[in-house]
Amino acid sequence: MAAVALVQGASRGLGLEFCKHILSKKSEALIIATCRSPEKALQLKDLGERYPGKVTILKVDVTRENEIQQAAEIVKSKFGKIDLLINSSAMLLPSGKGETSLRDISFEGLVATLTTNTVGPLVMAKYFSPLLMNGSGGFGQQTADKSKQHSGIIVNMTAKVGSIGDNRLGGWYSYRMSKAALNMATRNLSIELGRGRAKVVCVSLHPGTVDTDLSRPYHKNVLKDRLFTTECSVQYLMNLIDNLSVDKTGKCFAWDGSEIPW
């Protein structure tokens, strides 16, 4: 049975690159790619044309629970399972600029950022976890011990700035809070979805500083050898995903495999 990966936020950046990588490296894998506006996702459409029959594009705005629920029903009907869920979409702030001090925060900015970065991925897990429990463990590393085998994997894309233990500079209230809360969601999910016979591995992954629209305004402060292309970052991240097991669930890892403190 073909492995099925669902990439949420697949129209650009890391999400789009995850789709490209999986299709090119895993010949039998199928991709379900979700985004807010499929009609505008030209690169995603092109990818589907290059891999006929392997890419299903669905409209999902993670701030709308009904769209997530409808997508889950479609996936259940068509595939019956998924093996990997990557929650990739994120925003810094609606303005695209992080807060440098308390005076910069706004109620609207906080709510919008938390809704997209934290609430959306958690609601995705609510509706797609039953399909992950039906998975065949097509991603990650299995063990001979059946009690430690997994059926699926949830990857929540986090950021190092979401680490409370690593926070030494402050600022970026909305983004930091949203990723810290996402990390807590990952931890909670790992406990609940690790109890049953069909175990789902849940991790938060930090992609490094990647050359995307979200981080581009801040590249001047990044060393050249630590500014990754999407291709480079996803290669590192997929290496991590390919080696995930039940023993690693509930943790937060950086692109290089090092564990990030909560």
Per-residue pLDDT for the chain (262 aa), expressed as one digit of tens each? 799 999 999 999 999 999 999 999 998 999 999 999 999 999 999 999 999 999 999 999 999 999 999 999 999 999 999 999 999 999 998 888 888 899 999 999 999 999 999 999 999 999 999 999 999 999 999 988 888 999 999 999 999 999 999 999 999 999 999 999 999 999 999 999 999 999 999 999 999 998 765 555 555 555 556 689 999 999 999 999 999 999 999 999 999 999 999 9
DSSP 41: -
Tokens 């969601």 locate to: 185
> CB neighbours (10 Å) of residue 38?
17
What DSSP string describes 210-248? Answer: ESSTTTGGGGGGS-GGGEE-HHHHHHHHHHHHHT--GGG
- Give the model's pLDDT for residue 227: 83
Residues 15, 89: contact at Cβ < 8 Å?
A: yes
Model confidence, pTM: 0.93
Give how far Cα 64 sits from Cα of 74, 146, 232, 260, Å.
Answer: 16, 37, 32, 31
By CB atoms closer than 10 A (0-12, 13-18, 19+), residue 86 is buried
The class that CATH gives domain 4-254 is alpha beta
Bridge partners of residue 30, in order along the sequence? 4
CA 202 – CA 189 distance, rounded (Å): 7
Task: Give me the phi and psi of 252, to 5 degrees please.
Answer: -120, 125
Handedness of CA 106, 165, 256, 143 (dihedral sign): negative
- Give the model's pLDDT for residue 96: 81
CA 137 – CA 141 distance, rounded (Å): 8
